[in-house]
Amino acid sequence: METKAFIESGQAVLGIEFGSTRIKAVLIDEANQPIASGSHDWENQLVDGIWTYNLDDVWTGLQNSYRDLCRQVREQYHIDIHRLKAIGISAMMHGYLPFDKGGQLLVPFRTWRNTMTEEAVEILIDKFQYNIPQRWSIAHLYQAILNKEPHVADVAFFTTLSGYIHWKLTGKKVLGIGDAAGMFPIDSTIHDYDQRMLAQFDELTAPNGFSWKISELLPKVLCAGDDAGCLTGEGAKLLDVSGQLQDGIPMCAPEGDAGTGMTATNSVAQRTGNVSAGTSVFAMVVLEKALSKVYKEIDMVTTPSGDPVAMVHCNNCTSDLNAWVGLFKEFATTFGMDITMNDLYGTLYNKALEGDADCGGLLAYNYFSGEHITGFEQGRPLFVRQPDSRFTLANFMRTNLYTTLGALKTGMDILLKEEKVSIDKLLGHGGLFKTEGVGQSILAAAMNAPVAVMKTAGEGGAWGIAVLASYLVNKEGDEALDAFLNTKVFAGQEGTTLQPQEKDVESFESFMVRYRAGLPIERAAVEHLKN
Mean pLDDT highest for which of 187-191, 274-278, 510-514?
A: 510-514
- Each residue's pLDDT tens digit, 310-342: 999 899 999 999 999 999 999 999 999 999 999
- The 3-state DSSP class for residue 470 equals helix
Distance of CA 319 to the CA centre of its chain: 14
% of the chain with per-residue pLDDT over 70: 99
Quote the CA–CA distance of 134 and 341 in Å, as a whole number.
35
CB–CB of 65/16 below 8 Å?
A: yes
Per-residue pLDDT at 314:
93
> What would the pLDDT profile of 76-102 be if each residue is shown by its tens digit?
999 999 999 999 999 999 999 999 999
Mean pLDDT across 173-188: 96
Instruction: Examine the pLDDT at 290 and tell me if it is beyond 80.
Output: no
Q: Could you give phi then psi for residue 41, rounded to 5 degrees?
A: -85, 140
Every domain of the chain and the residues it spans: 319-403+503-528
Going by pLDDT thresholds of 50, 70 and 90, the confidence category of residue 434 is confident
Handedness of CA 46, 50, 54, 58 (dihedral sign): positive
pLDDT digits (tens, 9 = 90+) for 193-246: 999 999 999 999 999 999 999 999 999 999 999 999 999 999 999 999 999 999
Whether residue 63 is predicted with pLDDT greater than 60 in this model: the reply is yes
pLDDT tens string 152-180 = 999 999 999 999 999 999 999 999 999 99
* pLDDT 10s digits, 335-344: 999 999 999 9
Of the listed ranges 4-13, 201-210, 255-264, 392-401, the least confidently predicted one is: 255-264
pTM passes above 0.75:
yes
DSSP string, 186-248: EETTTTEE-HHHHHHHHHHHGGGT-S--HHHHSPEEE-TTS---B--HHHHHHH-TTS-S-S-
Query: Do residues 182 and 94 touch, judged by C-beta distance below 8 A?
Result: yes
Helix (H, G, I), strand (E, B) or coil at 64: helix
Output the pLDDT for position 206. 97
Query: Which pLDDT score is estimated for 383?
Result: 98
Mean pLDDT over 11-22 rounds to 95
Residue among 379, 278, 262, 386 nearest 322 (CA): 278
248 pLDDT more than 90: yes
